[in-house]
Amino acid sequence: MTSDLAATFVVAAAGQVDDVLAVLDEAAAWLQARGVEQWPPRFERSWVEGGVRRGETWLALVDGTVSGTVTLDRRDRVWDGVPDAAALYVHRMAVRRSAPGLGAAILGWAADVARGEGRAALRLDCVASNGRLRAYYEAAGFTHRGDVTVGGAPGQRLDEGPVTVVSRYERRLGPAY
C-alpha cells in the first residue's frame, strides 16, 4: 500500500495541541458514527500534551493544511516481553476525511524515520474488534503479533478501569532504497 499524496511532516509545537486534537476528534467522530470502537468520542487535551511536549507528535500537512497527525514513540508497554525491541511505535495516527491516502503516506514516512534511527521494525496496535483497520494494516505490510489486554477504554492506556483487547502489528523494515 503506497500513496502518491505529497505531505510535509512537522513536529507539533505546544501551540498546536488544538490542531492535533481537531484531527483526532474528527477521526474519532467519524469512527463513532460508523459504530467502530477504536477511540473515545473525543480526546482529552492531557492525552496528547505529553507527546507534543516531548517532540513525539507530528502534523502532516497537505498543501499547507493540517491534514493528519501521528505520535512516534520509542517504547510501548503493550510490547513488553516481545523480543527485538529495536522498533518505533506508531500511536494516535489520524487523518482528515479530506485527505484520502494520507494514512499510507504517514506509515511510509514513519518507516523512513524508523530506518533513519537504525530501528528494525515499525509497530502499532488497534482495537482487536476493528476488522477493517486490521485488514488495512495487513495490506500495508504489517504482521499480526498477537492480542493483549490493556487497561482503559479504547484509545487509552490506564492502570485501572475498563479493559480493551488490542491487536499488535509489526512491519519489519529493510534498508531504505
Backbone angles phi, psi at 119, to 5 degrees: -90, 145
Higher pLDDT, 68 or 39: 68
Give how many domains the chain has, as a whole number: 1
C-alpha–C-alpha distance, residues 110 and 113, integer Å: 5
CATH number for the domain spanning 92: value is 3.40.630.30
The whole domain housing 133 covers 8-172
The 10s digit of each residue's pLDDT in 2-58 is 456 789 999 999 999 999 999 999 999 998 888 887 888 888 898 899 999 999 999
Residue 2 lies in a domain: no
Lowest mean pLDDT among 80-94, 132-146, 148-162: 148-162
Question: For residue 155, is it left (φ>0), alpha (ψ between -120 and 50) or beta?
Answer: left
C-alpha–C-alpha distance, residues 18 and 24, integer Å: 10
Residue 1 lies in a domain: no
Residue 64 lies in a domain: yes
**Is residue 160 scored above 60 in pLDDT?**
yes
- Report the predicted TM-score, pTM, of the whole model to 2 decimal places: 0.90
Residue 3 lies in a domain: no
Residue 177 lies in a domain: no
Residue 164 lies in a domain: yes
The mean predicted confidence, pLDDT, of the chain is: 89
**Is residue 175 scored above 80 in pLDDT?**
no
User: C-alpha grid cell for residue 79?
Assistant: 510490547
